[in-house]
């Protein structure tokens, strides 16, 4: 049985009917089905792993939803962190098709652990990328 594509997360009542054939009796039944929120996957890639202090680092973000219907993309608020400090917030919209390039502000000399977090929405859970180490010379 295939459910409608726009079904919201949560519990839903369903009913099924079989009309039968000459040798098989007809039948019907009811039940409940639970639709869970989508689980996006985030991949963050640094444009360059080492930059000078005068350069702005760029991070390419790819947010996908495995097994989603064609045309469905991860959306929501993106939070970019350097360790525990928030360095940028922006929105990932449907028109971006899950792809985004983030330009970070100037960072101090040293190593920085850059992490991307896609905040949850009514239709999807939150997701976090792995740390990417950026070296600022």
pLDDT in tens, 10-48: 999 989 999 989 889 999 999 999 988 999 999 999 999
Q: What is the extent of the structural domain holding 70?
A: 41-136
pLDDT in tens, 36-92: 899 999 999 999 999 999 999 999 999 999 988 888 899 999 999 999 999 999 999
Q: Looking at the domain assignment, is residue 108 inside a domain?
A: yes
Q: Looking at the domain assignment, is residue 16 inside a domain?
A: no
pTM of the model: 0.80
Which of these, 49, 27, 35, 41, lies nearest to 3 by C-alpha position?
Answer: 35
Question: Residue 47: which residues within 8 A CB-CB, separation 6 or more?
Answer: 57, 58, 59, 60, 101
- Whether 6 shows a pLDDT value over 80: the answer reads no
CATH number of the domain bearing residue 54: 2.60.40.10
Q: Looking at the domain assignment, is residue 19 inside a domain?
A: no
| Domains in the chain, number | 1
**Given the DSSP bridges, would you call strands 50-51 and 132-136 parallel, antiparallel or unpaired?**
parallel
């Amino acid at each position: 049985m295939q459910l409608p594509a726009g079904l919201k997360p949560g519990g839903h009542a369903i009913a099924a009917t079989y009309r039968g054939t000459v040798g098989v009796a007809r039948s019907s039944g009811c039940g409940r089905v639970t639709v869970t929120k989508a689980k996006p996957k985030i991949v963050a890639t640094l444009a360059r792993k080492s930059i000078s202090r005068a350069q702005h680092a760029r991070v390419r973000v790819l947010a996908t939803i495995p097994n989603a219907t064609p045309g469905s993309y991860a959306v929501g608020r993106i939070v970019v962190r350097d360790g525990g400090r928030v360095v940028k917030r922006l929105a990932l919209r449907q028109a971006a098709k899950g792809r985004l390039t983030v330009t970070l502000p100037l960072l101090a000399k040293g190593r920085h652990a850059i992490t991307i977090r896609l905040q949850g929405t009514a239709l999807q859970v939150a997701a976090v990328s792995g740390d990417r180490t950026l070296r600022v010379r």
